[in-house]
Amino acid sequence: MEKFIALEKARKIVQISFSYIKRLDKYDPLRNQASRSAISVVSNLAEGNERTGKDRNQLFKISKGSLSELKEQLLIMFYEKGFDHDLLDRIEELHKILYSLSRSQSQSQSQKTKTEAEK
């Protein structure tokens, strides 16, 4: 199976993120929300990678949204404990990749629709 770089990068981000998330009190709502966001990033990328067309693009967009949520939740944690600039850089890099994936999927879908309309 071909490597899906975005998924590999997402897995690493989630791994690092969980090292911070697990430090929060288990009853802290931020812990629950950040965990769900992190899992959503990877899960939607994995599922999107197996889909085609609009479904694929929608799942990539959801993953990108979850990544934005995770970033904000980590920033809230970092305000108290100090910033992990490497993790934030990784998130920004993946965000750009997801933006490009989503954009190329939209263009591909648009081209397909245009070709079908010409038939």
Domains of the chain are 7-118 (1.20.1440.60)
pTM for this one? Answer: 0.80
pLDDT value, residue 85: 85
Q: How far apart are CA 66 and CA 45, in angstroms?
A: 11
pLDDT one digit per residue (tens) for the chain, 119 residues: 457 899 999 999 999 999 999 998 889 999 999 999 999 999 999 999 999 888 998 999 999 999 999 999 999 888 867 778 889 899 999 999 998 888 877 776 666 655 555 65
**How far is CA 15 from its chain centroid?**
13
pLDDT value, residue 53: 85
- For 23, other C-beta atoms within 10 Å of its C-beta total 11
Q: How far apart are CA 57 and CA 108, in angstroms?
A: 10
Q: How far apart are CA 31 and CA 92, in angstroms?
A: 21
- For 89, other C-beta atoms within 10 Å of its C-beta total 10
Q: Which two tokens mark 97?
A: 């990749």
- Judge contact between 6 and 45, C-beta under 8 A: yes
